[in-house]
Amino acid sequence: MSTNPSIGDTKAMIKSILNEQNIMANESSYIATTILNGMDSANTISTIMSKNEIIKDAIIMSIGSSTINNSDTLNVLNPTQKEELYIFIQKNPPTSRIDDFSSKNDI
């Protein structure tokens, strides 16, 4: 028996999270992880594009944290997925500043 969620379960969870007006840290991390794993990333990014800046910021910060902690994470994505992610981040620069995010690796 597998403990990994199916792609259908993952899509349903993402849809449920993105139907909310706010997002919690664990939810943005979950979405970031699914994007970085290449699971339905194009559709997920497309859906996120219509969300408010707070949700976009939270997800982008989670993506940033994941890649800072493990740069090999991006190697899972194919070139098209990498480009989609790059364009998404480029079109949605962070609108808020969280001190933790900007200085995470300054030590």
pLDDT score, position 107: 43
20 found inside a domain:
yes
Give per-residue pLDDT as tens, 43-93.
999 999 999 999 999 999 999 999 998 889 899 999 999 999 999 999 998
Tell me the residue range of the domain where 25 lies.
Answer: 7-96
Give per-residue pLDDT as tens, 10-53.
899 999 999 999 999 999 999 999 999 998 899 999 999 999 99
Rounded CA separation 38/22 (Å): 24
Rounded CA separation 26/17 (Å): 10
* 105 pLDDT higher than 50: no
Q: Say how many domains are in the chain.
A: 1
49 found inside a domain:
yes
104 found inside a domain:
no
Entry pTM: 0.81
Q: Check: CB of residue 85 under 8 Å from CB of residue 78.
A: no
39 found inside a domain:
yes
